[in-house]
Every structure is written in C-alpha cells, then in structure tokens.
Structure 1
Amino acid sequence: MERIRELLNTSYAHKRGYTGKGITVAVMDTGLFLHKDLRGRVKGFYDVLGNETECYDDNGHGTHVAGIIGSDGCASRGEYMGMAPGCGILPIKVLDRRGGGNTRQVKKAIRWMLEHKDEYNIRILNISVGMLKSAREEEQVELIKLVEEVWDAGIVVVAAAGNNGPAGNSVTIPGICRTIITVGSSDDDNRQTQGQGLRRGYSGRGPTDSCVIKPEILAPGTKITSCDVHNDGYTTKSGTSMATPVVSGAIALLLSKYPQMSPKDVKLRLYQTANRSCDRKEQHVWGCLDLVRLMH
C-alpha cells in the first residue's frame, strides 16, 4: 500500500484532514478478521452464511480488501496504511471459505444493508466479487437490479471488472451494470503480474453487450500488500478485486470533504477528474484515478 499511496499521493487528502472519517464503507465479501489496523472502526458485522455475530474471515479476501480501503497501518508503523484510514468498515459476509456464493445470499445481504444504511451511515458499497456471464440470465438480471436499488438508495456502488481480460466484453456481473462505478486495474499489463496467477492484461474489458463503456475508471491492482487474517500480519494479492477498494477508499476521502454528494455526483466527479493520459486508450475507459484532482 505504501507504493499505491505514493503513486496516488493520498497524503494530499490526509494532510488536509480528509481521512474518510464519518463515512462507512460496506464490504460485501468473505468477511473480516479483526486486524489491529481496523479495530475500533468496524461498525458491525452481518453474516449471511452462518449467522455469526462476531467478525471472522475464513478466506482472507475480504480482510485484504477492507485493509486497502481503511487500514490505519498501526501494525506496520504506517507502511500498509489504506486509502481512507479514518473511515468506518461494515463487513457483510456473502462468500464462503472458497469464495463461493449465490444470488439468494447477496439479495438477503442487500436487503439487510438497505434496512440499516442510516444506522451505520453507509455511503459506499464495495463489491470486489463478480458473477461470470455464463450464470443463468435470471440471476444476472436479479443481481443487476439489486445493485441499482442500492445506488438509488443513495449508496455509491463500486464493483470490480473481473480478471477475465484482455478480451473485450469480459467484465463480470454486476460490473456490467450501467448505473454503478466499475473499476479495472491500471497495472495489469506490466511484469508484476508474473507469479500472481494472472495473465498480462487480466483486467476485464468492455464494452458490454449494451455498448456501455466498462470499466469507467482504472486504479492500481497488482501486487498490493494489505491486511492478512494471521497474527495482524500482511499479505500480497492482485486483481481488480484490489483495484476496486482503492477507488472505494478514494471516494470515502471525497465524501469526507463533500458529504452532500450523491452517487451521481461522485460518478460525475470521477469522470471529470480522470487522468485521460494514462496510456489506456485501447480499453476505451474514462481514464485512471487521479486522487488530487478528485479532491479539489
């Protein structure tokens, strides 16, 4: 995360007092290990699978994602601080230890989240998971409808583009949803992908079947070190699952400065401030995340 913070110049926001404080990010994933870097800012826990009330993560993916968003880095003396170290985190476990889940579980989780959004001041939903387009059409339609409902309720939905690139029309669901913000990796074609189990150009690419530009925005996603589930340690992962919380964290910083912004306002701001010279013209995206311009 130190590399990502330097690349995006997150200190620009932090030094001005914008750390995401007062903003809660819901993380729909594999759960959460109560890492030292996150304790005190975890607002609750909802477990669709096992109905457990205490935080746990039997996979590690959700903890890593949450750390990218909001780790305060105290266990690493700041080295692995996340994007928005003052934000609140609300983990929602919808995936099992293998990372599997289903639409019924997601539907239950979203219904619960909408019922409690005001209680926890949920402003952002991070979805670093996706459904392949080979899934049943009715499931695809239902999942897209659900995330649109979250967006319409005033919550910014940020979803991963998936790791099925570089072919076109390879964005996973719900990332193909026209309304929400979909994130791809800006560094998926460099040598860092070697040894990560990902092909060069792994980031899902559009356009979608409806000729919608997806993903809209790119952020670093390759070889990011963040919170692990073992002994308050850290681990390194790659993928659009990691790029997505980089953008969610940036939005938490933005909303801590401009709390009145609606999801539509946030998406427009990302469009207006994207770095269009980041050498990704072949992907037909808006551009790469430019945090300094975003925060102006």
Structure 2
Amino acid sequence: MFSFKNKIDFRLKQSLEMNIYKNYRVIIQCKNLQKNIEKRIQSGGGKVIRYINHCNIISASISSNLIRRLLEYPEVEFITFDSFAFLCGRSVVSSNRAYIGDSYKLTGKNIGIALIDSGVYPHPDLLIPRNKIKVFVDMLEGYKYPYDDNGHGTFIAGLISGSGQMSEGRFRGIAENSDLYCYKVFNSMGRAYVSDILSAIDDALGRSSKDNIKILCLPFEILEHDNFINNCFSVSFKCCIHKGIFPVVPSGSIECKEETMMGLALIKECITVAGIDISNEIKEFKYSSSNGNRKLDKPEIAANCVDLCSLNTNKNYISERAGKKLYPQTLEEPYTSYSGTSCAVAYICGICALLLENNPSLTFKDLISLIKVSSELVPISKSVQGNGVININKLLP
C-alpha cells in the first residue's frame, strides 16, 4: 500500500498504520471516472456523502481496507481527511455597540449573497418589510425552513442585510436590500466539514446566473496548513470569479502576531478582511490574524469587528417536525453584541454589494482596486490592516 505514499495524506497514512478508527471520513480527489470510484466505494461497503463536481472530489466514510484498495486505482489522485473549518469570532457582552449602517443611495438591491455559515433564524429584520432569505439549504439535517442552532449565521446575515425593523432602523445592515442565499453547513458547536462547505459553494455556483449571486461570504477559518485543502478552495474560488462571484474571507482569529495567518486567508483568489478595534480609539484587535510576509498582499482590507450589534437568535428553535413547518416565538432580546473578524467580513460583503449594485459590470480585479484606492492606513501595524480602512466617502456615490 505505502508505495502509493504520494497519493495519501501523511496524517491519514499514520492513522491507518496505527489502526485508530474503523471508518474514516475522507476526501478523495479523482483524475477522471469519478462515477466509477463512487460505485467502488458503495460496493466496498462505504458511504458516499458529497460530490463536488467543480473540484472532482468525493467525500465518503470508508474503512481502512477500502482506502487501501482505492489507492490502487489510477483514477484516484489523492486521499486525505475531510478537515474541519471553524467559525471566526468571540462572543462578548458589551454596552458599546458599534453601528455600521448609514444613509446611502445604494442598498444592495437585487444583489445575491451566498452566506455559508450556521444557518439563519427567521428574524423580523430579515422578513420585514420583505423576506431577504431567498434560499435556505440545510446541509446537515435537510430541513426546508430556516433555523440557526448556533447564532453566528443570523448575526452575520443581520450585519449584511437586516432591515432594522425591531430597532426603528438603528441596527440595519450595510446592504439592507441585498438577497441572502443561506447554507447551513456549521453545526451548533461552530464546526463544519470542508466537503460540506465545498458542496455549498458548488450549489451557489449552480444558482448564480439565475439568482444573480455575486458575493460569497465565508466567515470561517481552517486552522491548519494543508496544501491540498487550500488548493481545493483555490480551484473553487477561481470557478466563482469566472462566474462573477467574489469570495470574501476573514484573516482568522489567531492572535495578531507576525505570520499567524493561514488557510483560506492566504489564497490569492479572494478578498481577505482583517478586524480592528475602533470602538473607542483605533487599535489592533487581539484576535485578528496577521501576515508577516511582505510579498503577500494579505489582508487586502480591515474593518471594525469589535462590539457590533446585530440579530439575536433562539438556538433551541427547530424549523420543522415530521415535515411540518414550525413557527418561532417572539425573541425577548431581538439584538445581541459580538466581536470577531467574521463581523469585518460581513461589513465588506455589504460594501461589495453596494458597489456591484452601482456598477454590475465590475470584475474581481476592479473590486479589489476600488477597495484599495479608497482605503486609508491607520496607526497600527500594516501586517494587521493591509491597505487600511475603507473611507466610505471616497468609495460610494
């Protein structure tokens, strides 16, 4: 078997040698004949979980013996663990709630944003005066109706396109008339498999033309250096950009020391957003990863990510039972506060929606150029802030 060492991740190889698990959830990259490998998995007693067509990969739960057999097939290029991604950010209880909305001529009207997160709660700010949740896809339980047992996705959705209905407009989103295409990929603990995320991106790619999905909001991080996983996302992001969808990711939540950025944040084909603290005076946000490599122009931009106010959720609410829709009760507290680089990502996604509403023909390079030229450096390390903070007055009409 181990003559095929270049076809298997070294961590998975070690696990097989130590016989740690009975079954392994893995990602299998195929050179060709993907359907043939799917049949071999099923005939070998394995379970196919996801097909991600644009990456030519399969996610499956299979035994160690089946892994060994699959390595022998020339159609199989590489097998690795199906890694975890983690939602960015830290919960806070604070009375200092930074408001990011303002009075603009642009509102993100008709711009679709694919949000891959923990789901979305049917909050009044997302339903009134019109329903912003155009599509809800539950990759975990298969429920048809929106819910969020973690709360992170709902908070991010509110920062992007909340109407401010429950606050008389005070806490409305930066692009309040944008449309949301919500994918529940992360569980109640804020974890998700990479293959589920890639499958959600695949679905968004399929919907993009019909639904005018222009922005891919990815408020999570992968806490490891894995070239194979990074390449899968790089391929996905290239496909998105080719179809006019622009991926936005956080710098990460590791302390802001030199060279703590990793994973998605370093991929060229996305906009990487760092978080800073402007709640009182401008300063570094301790849990925003930085880049010490001057050759990499990452992050591109920074935004406030401390003590923002957005939508609360009922984590115990489940949207259906036995196929029947269940309706949520009124929230005692419609809003909550939160800090984390994912909040900065939401802000920049909203800004991108406004720019694309103003000029739908913008390319990925155009968008990054506009963001950079309208940014201003603030008195903190450049490795933390990239090109600085957007000056709205320079950017928007």
Question: Hey, what does 1:272 align to over in structure 2?
Answer: 373
Tell me the CA shift for residue 173 of structure 1.
Answer: 2.3
In the alignment, what sits opposite 1:206? 291
Aligned positions of 1:1-296 closer than 5 A: 3-5=98-100, 10-11=102-103, 13=104, 16=105, 18-39=106-127, 40-134=131-225, 136-187=226-277, 200-207=285-292, 211-230=295-314, 231-232=330-331, 233-276=334-377, 278-283=378-383, 285-296=386-397
Query: CA separation in 2, counterparts of 1:292 and 1:192?
Result: 19
- One-letter code aligned to 1:20: G
The alpha-carbon deviation at position 179 of structure 1 amounts to: 2.1
CA distance in 2, matches of 1:280, 1:148: 32
**Structure 1 counterpart SS, 2:214:** strand
Shift of 1:253: 1.2
- Cα deviation for residue 256 of structure 1 reads 1.3
Report the structure number with the largest CA radius of gyration.
Answer: 2
Q: Measured at CA, do residues 79 and 247 of structure 1 come closer, stay the same or move farther in structure 2, by a change above 3 Å?
A: same
TM-aligned CA distance change 1:60 to 1:249, over 3 Å = same
Give 2:295's aligned amino acid.
Answer: C
Instruction: Report how far residue 100 of structure 1 moved.
Output: 0.6
Conserved? CA contact 1:273–1:290, under 8 Å: yes
Q: Distance in 1 between matches of 2:278 and 2:368?
A: 23
Structure 2 CA distance, aligned partners of 1:35 and 1:172?
A: 34
1:212 is displaced (CA, Å) by 0.8
SS in 2 for 1:219: strand
Aligned-partner residue type, residue 291 of structure 2: G
Q: 1:27, 1:90 within 8 Å by CA — same for their partners in 2?
A: yes
Instruction: Return the offset for 1:192.
Output: 11
* Amino acid corresponding to residue 279 of structure 1 in structure 2: P
TM-score (normalizing by structure 2): 0.66
More displaced 10-residue stretch of structure 1: 211-220 or 227-236: 227-236
Where structure 2 has 5 or more consecutive residues not aligned to the other structure, the ranges are 1-95, 315-329
Deviations 1:160-196 (A, max 9, x none): 1111121122224211111211101121797899xxx
CA displacement 1:19-73 (0-9 Å, x = unmatched)? 1111111111111001100111111111222222111111000000010001010
Gaps of 5+ in 1: 194-198
Counterpart secondary structure, 2:133:
coil
Change (3 A) 1:172 1:222: farther
- Match for 2:307: what amino acid? K
How much identity, in percent, do the aligned residues show? 27
Which residue is equivalent to 1:196? none
CA displacement at 1:213 relative to structure 2: 2.1
Residues 68 and 81, structure 1, Cα contact 8 Å, conserved in 2: yes
Q: In structure 1, what is the equivalent of residue 327 of structure 2? A: none
In structure 2, what is the Cα distance between the partners aligned to 1:151 and 1:97? 30
Write 1 or 2 for the structure with the bigger share of strand: 2
The one-letter code matched in structure 2 to 1:205 is S
Query: Are the equivalent residues in 1 in contact too, given 2:98–2:279 (CA < 8 A)?
Result: no
For the aligned residue pairs, the C-alpha RMSD in angstroms reads 2.3
Q: Do the aligned partners of residues 200 and 82 (structure 1) sit closer, same or farther apart at CA in structure 2, a change above 3 Å counting?
A: closer
Normalised by the size of structure 1, how large is the TM-score?
0.88
Structure with bigger RCO (C-alpha 8 Å, 6+ apart): 1
Q: 2:230 touches 2:267 (CA, 8 Å); kept in 1?
A: no
Give how far 1:107 is off. Answer: 1.5
